[in-house]
Every structure is written in C-alpha cells, then in structure tokens.
Chain A
Amino acid sequence: MSSENYRKVSTITKEEYEKYGINRDFLLDSYKKMYLIRKLEEKIEYLYLVRGLLMGPAHLYNGMEAIAIGVTKALSKGDLIVSNHRGHGHAIAIGITPYQIISEMLGFSEGAQKGLSGSMHVAIDPDAGALYSSAIVGSQVPIAVGAAYAFKYRKLDNVVAVFFGDGATTTGALLESLNMSRFLKVPLYLICEDNDYAEYTNIDYTVGRSRITSMFTSFGIYTEEVDGNDVLSVYRSIKDTEELVRGQKNPVAIHAYTYRLSGHSVTDPASYRSKDEVEKWKALDPILRLKERMLKEGFTTEEELSSVEKSIEEDIESAVNEALKGSPMSIEDAIKIGDP
C-alpha cells in the first residue's frame, strides 16, 4: 500500500474542532443518538430473551454506534445510505424511530416496512435517506454502486454510503462492486464495519483482518483505516475525503475497526469469544469514550447526561408500549403490495 492511496486516520483534536464544525451541539447530538441505539438494542434483547415477544433473527448494532453516527452526521441532505442485516443503528441514524423499528419487529403494519420485512430491513426509507437494506451479506454493495451512478448521471451533488461488515469482503458481490465502482467512477463511500466476526468465525481465520484494507487499495480505491469506536475519527474520515467522493466522483473505502458487544444475532451468547477479548473492547466502548471526552473538555456535566439518558430510556419505553398496541396488516393488503 502506498501512502497515496491509503491513510490511517486519527481523531479530531480539540484544537481542530472549529475547522470541522465540532461544538457542544454536535457532540451532544452524537451522544444522544449513540445512546439511543445502545438502549434500543438492549431493549430488543430484553424483549426477545426475557419477554419472548419478538421472533426471527435480530442482529444487534451495540458497540458499533460511532460508525453509523459518524458517517451520517458527515453526510448532506439528499445523500443516501444503503444498509444491511445489522441495520438498527443505521435506521436510527437517519431518523427512523424506535416505534417504527419495534413495530416492524413485531410484524405490525405500523412498522418501518409495515411488518413485511422484519429486523434486517428496517433501514429502508428513501425519503428519509435510507435507500435499501439487504439481508444477504454483500449483496447491497452493487446496488449502492448503481444508486451512486444515478446521482452522478442526474448531475446531482449527492453521494451514497454503503455499510457492510468484514464478512462481506469475501463475497463475489463485493469484489465485483469494488471494480465496478472504480470503473464507473461513482460518488460512493464503502464503509466496512469490521467487527471482527463473520457470523461465528473470526475474520482473521478466513481472511486476515489487516488484508481487508489492501483488498480495497488493490482495486485502485483510496482507503482510510479508522478507529470505528471513535465517532470523531469516523466523521473526520468522511469529511476529509469529501472532495474525492462528492467533488471528483470517486469511490472511497473506510475500513472501520469496531466490535460487536453482542453475538451474531440476539440468541447467540458468543461463547466462542474469550473474556479477555470482550473486556478489551468494552474498555473501548464508543459511548463511554465520547462521554469521557465531553466531560473532560467541559461540554457537559454528569447531571446533564443522566437527564438526557433518562429521557431517552423513557422514550424507548413508551415507544415499546405504543408499538405493542399495533396489529398486522391483512394478507389481502400484503399481496397487493408486490403487484406491478
């Protein structure tokens, strides 16, 4: 990897805040959204495992919150994200509500997709900024290439950001897309949320974690390696490469290192991971790190944050209670939706 097509990104320091437009509002808003994702995922886990109210697969985003928030805060109006099976965080980041997400997971017509698609497709709402979400690993990436091409073709200044995990880097869909995105020169952020595991198998075993970055660069795609548990590093990476993507219409890959705090899906106890490994990553919790930074730099107080946290938890509680009152649509209505 030459330094021309690769960079390791560092965080935004306090001295650089002004240059990047980082202020109290930015930090507090990031904190609120990340905290909302975390508490929603914990609530979902509870509704599954303790209350037995939810069914089917649910792949939780807890531990990875800084990526969804760092990326979406750096995007502009009209830009689109493309999500995947682990998409609750992406959905929250673009403004889909906990009520819509829980309703969807209950299979109710009040859900984000009217209960037709479930947990793995909550982040579909083109008007809100989420174009599509695929439950097939890697398959969303070529679709994101096409959406980005459409922006360029329509002479719009918008970009697409597609999220995929480390597990997607071994799919044909992704590898074909890397070449296609470079060949078509499309304004696309390829966001690799590298959470260490492809389902139950460590990515080091099947690929080699460090090799993922060179996979991107070998296709001629400028790539940044980012601490995915630091919202400001993620934000900086998107902002610093904006001229390449939005301006010059190039794909850029962001290899963001992070960690799933839960298992592959909600029912997976993840016993294949060592305690030491989990503890190491818990110490790097993106929400705790942001909290510590804000306190240390004097942007907030413990009291303010606890009141913010309390209000988010109450909002989730009432969203759940409200969602439980919903009901599924009729099969007759469901049949019509797919009609020409």
Chain B
Amino acid sequence: MPQLNIAEAINRALREIMQEDERVIYIGEDVGEHGGVHGVTRGLLEAYGKERVIDTPISEIAITGTAIGAAMNGLKPIAEIMYQDFIFIAMEQLINHAAQAKFMSAGKLKVPLTIYSQFSLGRQHGPQHSQFFLSHFANVPSINVVLPSTPYSAYGLLRNAVKQQIPTIYLVSAWEYFRFKENVPDEKFELPYGKARTLKQGKDISIISYSRTVYPSLRAAEMLEKEGISAEVIDMMTVSPLDLDTPKSSLLKTKKGLVVSDEHEPASVSSYIAQKLNESLYGKLDRPVMTLNPPFMFVPFSPALEKVYMIDENKIVNRVKEVLN
C-alpha cells in the first residue's frame, strides 16, 4: 500500500475521476499549465487536455457561475477557488444558484458541482489568505461541506464529490498538503458523506474534530496516553451532512467531550455540534461537551503571533485536562 501525502492523494483522486468520467472538467486559476499554486493539479492538463483542464482569468464569480451552468447542462465540473478567502467573491453564485437550483426548480435541476478550495492557516499568509470559515457554508441547505483531514480521507471524500446531485464544497488545509503521509489503498474507494470516523479508541474523553485539527488531536491523544489519560479521537469528515450518532455513542462511553476546531467560536459549527450533543445527552454525561477554538480575531501574519493563535497538540492537551478536572 503506497504512502501518500494529501496533495498526492488528491492528485490521484482527480486523475482517476477524470479517467473514469468524461463529464468531469477542472476549471480555475492557474490549474493547468502551472499545475495549481501548490502543484496539486500537476499533470492533469497534459493527461486530459485544454477542454477539460481550464486555466481561467481571475474571475471568481464567472468561474463559479460557469461551473454551475455546465453542471446544470450535463457536466460534472470541479471549480477551484484558489484560497477559501476568495470564495466570498463567489458566495452569491454558490448560495443563490448552485445550492438553491434543485429546490427552486422543484427537483428538475441537479447541480453535480464540486468547489475545491484550501485555507492556508499556519503558512504565514496573513488575514486574507488564512481564514477558515465553515458556518457560512454549513448554514446553507442543499450543499455538502466536506473536510478532508488525512490523505486517506482526502482521497475517498473527493472521489465521492462527483457522484453528488447537489454542490459539494471540498475544503482542505494547505498546511497539511505535504506534512503527513498515510497509507492509501491501491484499490479505489469512496468515503460516504455524513459518516464520522473514529481514528483512535479511548475511554476517558472524546475529542471531536475535523479538518486541520485532526492531526494535532491525534498527537494530543498520544501525549495524554503517556500521562495515563485515554482519549478517543473522532474525525467528523463532513459537517454537512453532519453525523452526530458517532460522537454520541462515543460520549455515552467516555462521558466527557471536547470539540476542537480552527473556526472562531461564535456561531460556529463546533459550538453547534457541542450544543446538539449536550441537548441530546443531557443528564447522561459527567459534564457538558466543551469546545476549543482560536481567539475571536483575524489570523495575524506575524509568525510568532500566528503560532500563538493556532491550535496545536499542547493546547488540546491543556484543554482536555481542564475538562477532566
């Protein structure tokens, strides 16, 4: 079984998807000749040609709209928005049209559209190239919000995106692209949407996370193990649809929980998850499910400040101890 990093896993998934289905096209800024700003789409243009791998002008509204129209008319476009911060330019297309079309047409229109984007928190990219917002998307009906965290999930979740009838936002952490390797089976597979994955078993506390904070959560669990604390680690995989059953079963066992996320806490998906779990498990836990988020401020550029801002394994360990005591 080959060890791949996330960038390689995504590249493999894209090549396979395009090989298997001629309806898939890839459209975005610098995705073809240049192979993407991080090299994730390298080789696609050579393999599949200019009709399918399209280098566009810097026009986020038109990139997204074009992909929506193509999706409505028989194709399965993947539109890349270079940084998550730039999706805001295209939010009108995404919410009013991509997400609403199926409802608005009483089911006549399908929009098998994938929006591929990354966020660069942890890469000293400053306030407008580092932001990680989920509630903006998760608050919209009829849209999948998909958060790969490891090469295995990056591969399996992306393969599922082109099989959807509603739009999928596939949002990956660029900080992770080349940082970790994982075994990804040679056999093709897809991971379902709305199904969390338990990455590590434990009995004292459930750490519930998604996206970039999954690896720090796993490392925190290893550190806690050495101190005799057994933490279960759950990767939510998608936050829309949202699987609350997996964390619920885990919490019924551990009785204590912590949701860890790179989002700001107010009106976040993380606080929503904690709230729903606390509502449904009222009286059955030792204490309410708690959260760990970065401070409510924009991401500072200063490498020293960004490090303080970001969640890492040490912060998770400390927060777990607070919850346990």
Interface residues of A (CB under 8 A from B): 80, 82, 113-114, 116-117, 121, 124-127, 131-132, 134-136, 139, 141-151, 153-154, 172-173, 176-177, 179-180, 183-184, 337-340
Contact = CB atoms under 8 A, between A and B. Distances in A.
Contacts of A153: 25, 51-52, 70, 75
Interface string B294-311: 000000000000000000
Contacts of B63: 180
Contacts of B241: 340
Contacts of B74: 150, 154
Nearest to A180: B62
Given A124-B109, A180-B62, A184-B54, A142 B93 contact: yes
B142 interface: yes
B61 A132 contact: no
B108 to A, nearest CB: 6
Among A126, A149, A183, chain B packs the most CB atoms within 10 A around the CB of: A149
A173 B73 contact: no
Contacts of B144: 340
Contacts of A126: 72-73, 108-109
A215 B313 CA distance: 55
B57 A146 contact: no
B178 interface: no
B65 interface: yes
A124 B108 contact: yes
Nearest to A148: B69
Given A139-B93, A148-B69, A338-B103, A132 B142 contact: no
B68 interface: yes
A173 B51 CA distance: 23
A141 B51 CA distance: 21
Interface size bracket, B side: 35 or more
18 contacts: A113-B105, A114-B106, A121-B104, A124-B108, A126-B72, A131-B73, A132-B69, A132-B97, A134-B96, A142-B61, A143-B72, A146-B72, A153-B25, A154-B74, A177-B65, A180-B57, A340-B144, A340-B166
A149 B79 CA distance: 14
B92 interface: yes
Contact of A143 (B54, B69, B165): B69
Interface of B: 25, 51-52, 54, 56-57, 59, 61-75, 77, 92-93, 96-97, 101-109, 141-142, 144, 164-166, 193, 241
Among A143, A173, A176, chain B packs the most CB atoms within 10 A around the CB of: A143
B97 A146 contact: no
Contacts of A124: 104-105, 108-109
A277 to B, nearest CB: 33
A151 B75 CA distance: 9
Query: Which 5 residue pairs across A and B have the least CB separation, nearest first?
Result: A142-B65, A146-B69, A176-B62, A150-B73, A146-B66
B6 to A, nearest CB: 25
A105 to B, nearest CB: 15
A179 B61 CA distance: 12
Nearest to B101: A132
Main secondary structure of the interface of B (DSSP, over half): mixed
Nearest to A336: B107
A134 B97 contact: yes
Given A117-B104, A337-B107, A136 B92 contact: yes
B57 A183 contact: yes
Contacts of A125: 108
Given A142-B68, A150-B74, 11 more contacts: A124-B104, A134-B97, A136-B96, A139-B96, A143-B65, A143-B68, A150-B72, A153-B25, A179-B59, A338-B166, A340-B165
Contacts of B102: 337-338
Contacts of B25: 153
Among A135, A148, A180, chain B packs the most CB atoms within 10 A around the CB of: A180
A146 B93 contact: no
A151 B74 CA distance: 9
A338 B142 contact: yes
Nearest to B113: A146
Contacts of A177: 62, 65
Contact of A176 (B52, B59, B70, B109): B59
B88 to A, nearest CB: 13
B19 to A, nearest CB: 17
A146 B61 CA distance: 12
Given A183-B57, A340-B165, A146 B71 contact: yes
B146 to A, nearest CB: 12
Given A146-B72, A180-B59, A116 B106 contact: yes
Contacts of A132: 69, 72, 97, 101, 105, 109
B107 A176 contact: no
A172 B90 CA distance: 11
B61 A172 contact: yes
A113 B106 contact: yes
Nearest to B107: A337
A83 to B, nearest CB: 12
A150 B106 contact: no
A142 B69 contact: yes
Contacts of A147: 69-70, 72-73
A82 B102 CA distance: 16
A220 B243 CA distance: 50
Contacts of B93: 139, 142-143, 173
Contact of B66 (A116, A136, A184): A184
A113 B57 CA distance: 35
B91 to A, nearest CB: 11
Nearest to A156: B74
Contact of B104 (A113, A172, A173, A339): A113
A221 B25 CA distance: 25
Contacts of A154: 74-75
A176 B29 CA distance: 14
B73 A337 contact: no
